[in-house]
Amino acid sequence: MTKAFVGAQIRRLREDRGLTQAALARQLDLSPSYLNQLERNQRPLTVPVLVRLSTVLGVDVQVFSEEDEGRLLADLQGALREAGVGEGVSLRDLKELVRTMPEVGRAVIALHQQARAGAERLEALAHTLGAPVEGLGPAPPPLPHEEVRDYFYERHNHIPELDEAGERLYADGLLALDTREEGLERLLADRHRIRVRVRDDITLGADVQRRFDPDAGVLALSRRLTPGQRLFQMATQLAFLEHGALIARLTEVPGLGSPEARALARIGLANYFAGAAILPYGPFLEAAEARRYDIDVLGEIFGVGFETVCHRLSTLQRPEARGVPFVFVRVDRAGNISKRQSATDFHFSRVGGSCPLWIVHDAFATPGRTLTQLARMPDGRRTLWVARTVIHQRGGFGQPEKVFALGLGCDLRHAPRLVYARGLDLNDPEAATPIGGGCKVCERTGCVQRAFPPLGRRVQADEGRSHTTPYAFT
């Protein structure tokens, strides 16, 4: 554990519980002066004290994670840049704010989100060609899929209740790794009187993978599904049948403000359970560590595809048994990110797309080949990325294919645990490709691939000088 200074978190948790420093110090078996130094960041948090704090205050140790500070810092930087007011604020000042007053940082981000909603409302007004403001109604709420992405992001893409439920199927002898398909069919039949039937596209529909008929007691699966995909679809239906109440409770949170967002979140949570049921946490983490996170090998062992393995690897954040904290993305040819799930603090831009120098975009040029990249963000953080394309087939001749590039990334300090670090010079800072979170929020100068100037920066146009890099800015 690196030196962690988390005084603001300790103080906030203590005050929320109405405890004085002396009272909390007694419960922790520490001297009041020692606790005072912890809260003032004059001493780092040690592992024994961390464990006692978690027990006494009844919180997960993740509350004190420095990665949470990294996430907040990245979000705060993005908000200030997008608002055009970040130029005069140094990175050092932002780090100090995040470290000592994280709630103020979150309030700034919330205010920025409200301002962005107001700007969208003004844009809508412009499109009405002069309609009165009062006729527009309130500012538009966040889009449902954005709320769901934030929901999983805030939870580090780890839902412990569903992980444990999936693992219990193996602990109770209801599923075995070698006979998962038969086991899931038996569970659906014995517990819910549901028969699984494979159907062709004419019967089921060309774009339907799973259809459940509760009246007939039939779960119909597409004939086009691979064995691993059939496992996933059966486990997803089992999630709704056996854990519907838990999933509903998990989605009754303020961050999911619309029925559409809660419905999408329920599907996402059912899919999460499916991953936990067909790739149980303990055996999967053990295999991942033993095979140095080789995605193809793990796919062969567990009988699932590249994307399913990547998705599951991004969820292994159980406090007492953590895997490598990954960020997982799925990108189409146009650069749209349709999946973004992160157990770490990698920052995704909400505006302006992604960086063209990111290895994920290069994957389309070499379909089916696994690529690696050492990348360096503008703030100096370095990441190891793994990228490859996958194809989602739709059937017969002339039918369009859905092609995506998948990216799996982790902080450089975890890279030695991965087979993909083989042959890379992890100690050379210059070996990393400089990338950013997207042109509109990237402060990097001298980038020949820049498509837009950074938000909030003034473009410097010089008629007497030409540069290889577009958009010189202040």
205 and 274 housed in the same domain: yes
CATH of the domain at 12: 1.10.260.40
Mean pLDDT of all residues belonging to the chain: 84
The residue from 140, 171, 199 where one domain ends is: 140
Write out pLDDT tens, residues 131-181: 555 555 555 567 888 889 889 988 888 999 999 999 999 999 999 999 999
Domain of residue 90: give its range.
68-140
Based on the fold, state whether residues 36 and 97 are members of the same structural domain: no
Domain count for the chain? 4
Same domain flag for 232 and 332: no
Position 264 scores a pLDDT of 95
Residue 450 in domain: no
Q: Which one of 64, 82, 99 terminates a domain?
A: 64
Q: pTM (2 decimals)?
A: 0.75
In a domain, 444, yes or no: no
Per-residue model confidence as pLDDT tens for the chain (474 residues): 445 667 777 887 788 788 888 888 888 888 888 888 888 878 887 878 877 887 887 765 555 665 566 777 777 877 777 776 666 677 778 877 777 777 788 888 878 777 776 666 665 555 555 555 555 555 556 788 888 988 998 888 899 999 999 999 999 999 999 999 999 999 999 999 999 999 987 788 778 899 999 999 999 999 989 999 999 999 999 999 999 999 999 999 988 988 999 999 999 999 999 999 999 999 999 999 999 999 999 999 999 999 999 999 999 988 889 999 999 999 998 888 888 887 776 655 555 457 888 999 999 999 999 999 999 988 788 999 999 999 876 666 667 788 999 999 999 999 999 999 999 999 998 889 998 877 777 777 778 788 777 766 777 777 777 767 666 776
Residue 269 lies inside a defined structural domain of this protein: yes
Same domain flag for 40 and 97:
no
In a domain, 240, yes or no: yes
pLDDT at 1: 44
pLDDT score of 395? 61
- In terms of domains, do 165 and 207 share one? yes
Last residue of a domain, one of 84, 109, 140: 140
Q: Please, are residues 269 and 226 in contact by the beta-carbon 8 Å criterion?
A: no
What percentage of the chain exceeds 90 in pLDDT?
Answer: 44
Are 164 and 273 found together in one domain?
yes
Residues 176 and 250 in one domain: yes
What per-residue confidence (pLDDT) applies to 436?
A: 81
Joined tokens for residue 329: 């993305």
Cα gap 434→456, rounded to integer Å: 22
